[in-house]
Amino acid sequence: MSIEREVAKRAENKCEFCGAEEKLNVYQVPETPARIEGADGAILVCHTCESQFEAEERDANHWRLLNDTIWSPVAAVKVMSWRMLHRLKDEGWPQDLLDMMYLEEDEREWAAAAGDAVDKSKQLVHRDSNGNILQAGDSVVLIKDLKVKGSSMIAKQGTAVRRISLDHENETYIEGKVDGQQIVIITDYVKKI
């Protein structure tokens, strides 16, 4: 039996979130562990629910249906319910449902694999002098001559620093090699290439 038919049979040809019977699609839950195969890693959802999974703007009232879906016996449905509750956490009411929700340890790991529970407000964001976000591995160019503390070296303006690494404790510091020497650089003095 195909995955589509197996999921549709399990869901009784209804959206596993809102119960809609039209515009249904099999949705493979992202970050599904390798040990979960076939229909166990998929859910049947309507277009309305699926379109809001990754959307920036969500209809919070539509997702009040999670009050019922958090009790689903299907692990994939519980995982997506948990993720949606975290994505809607700013609304206030999802926290009450998260407090009531029960997931097995492996289900919780699967749900958390997408990073929805990470508090992004406390996450450090490194930006160059123009406000561009810097990622580990980016290349930058120095916009000013910099005296390197503890040495007689001066890193010259225009020097390219390739494959930078980020300081995980301070958003204004990055590290990179200049003239073969690993140095710490303040992000105010670099521009992303």
Burial 21-43 (b: 16+ CB within 10 A, else e): eeebebbebeebeeebeebbbbb
Domain locations in the chain? Answer: 3-120, 140-192
Closest CA to 127 of 165, 170, 172, 163: 172
Q: Is the pTM of this model over 0.85?
A: no
Residue 1 and residue 147: Cα distance in Å, rounded? 68
Q: In this predicted model, what pLDDT tens digit does every residue of 148-185 receive, in sequence order?
A: 888 889 999 999 999 999 988 899 999 999 988 899 99
Summarize the confidence of residues 125-135 as an average pLDDT.
91
Q: Does domain 140-192 have CATH number 3.20.20.70?
A: no
CA distances (Å), 111 to each of 30, 88, 125, 128, in order?
Answer: 9, 15, 24, 33
